[in-house]
Amino acid sequence: MISAIIFDLDGTLINTWDLYIEAYRRMVQPYVRKTLTAQDIKSSKPTPELHFIERVVPEQDREHAFRRFITHYGNLYDSMAGGMYEGVSPLLERLRQSGYSLGIFTGKSRSAWEITARKEDLGHFDVVITDNDVEYHKPHAEGLRKAVGELGLNHSAVLYIGDNLMDYHTARDGGTQFATALWSKAAEEKEEFRATAKKEGVTWLLDSPDEIFEILG
């Protein structure tokens, strides 16, 4: 029986893709000679910010680069963030009314989460674990296990919901149940991902947030 739902954040509850691409572009630009485009950043297969900075910024400049990223993230949020996905707000309200514990485990930094929490009306979560709260990045399950531990539950009683296979591997290694949020994906991307996810062993693939209740019963 599922007692708690832990969500990934970006691409699952909120649409921050364009915001991240532009904030990353502005952060990385000082380190390259050519003028970067959004496509340049997309082609680099961007990851959550702390991991991304480790990959692309010289070690001695990483702290400054992170501060610059957070400045851009905050300044650009209102104009470039896409907000909560359709159906997310009523989903969270219904889950809370139904008595489920809710959590977030995200690859986002704590600073970026705090900006997001001020900007979006996501409501209260019983636990929030960010990339600053763990030693190892996803798909390592350290953060998910930490979130489950703070909720005081058995891992099998927790459903983790994310939008990619890295989240699935995190849930599998962390011993929780898993469902994929497909609602953030374009139609052509969704069908390709669905086929790949099924081959990987993903059981629950959700086209809309309210389909979660088909799992919960």
CATH number of the structural domain spanning residue 127: 3.40.50.1000
Output the CA angle 145-91-100, nearest 5 degrees: 45
On whether both 122 and 198 belong to a single domain, the answer is yes
Look at residues 56, 80, 104 and tell me which one is the last residue of a structural domain.
Answer: 80
Look at residues 80, 98, 129 and tell me which one is the last residue of a structural domain.
Answer: 80
Helix 110-119 crosses helix 62-80 at what angle (to 10 degrees)?
20
pTM (predicted TM-score): 0.95
CB 123 within 8 A of CB 92: yes
Q: How many domains does the chain have?
A: 2
**Per-residue pLDDT tens listing for the chain (217 residues):** 999 999 999 999 999 999 999 999 999 999 888 999 999 999 998 999 999 999 999 999 999 999 999 999 999 999 999 999 999 999 999 999 999 999 999 999 999 999 999 999 999 999 999 999 999 999 999 999 999 999 999 999 999 999 999 999 999 999 999 999 999 999 889 999 999 999 999 999 999 999 999 999 8
CB 184 within 8 A of CB 167: no
What distance, in Å, lies between the first and last C-alpha atoms of the chain?
10
**Full domain range(s) for residue 47:** 17-80
Contacts of residue 78, defined as CB under 8 A and 6 or more positions apart, other chains included, come to 119
Q: Which backbone phi and psi does 141 adopt, to 5 degrees?
A: -90, 10
Q: Count of CB atoms within 10 A of residue 198's CB?
A: 12
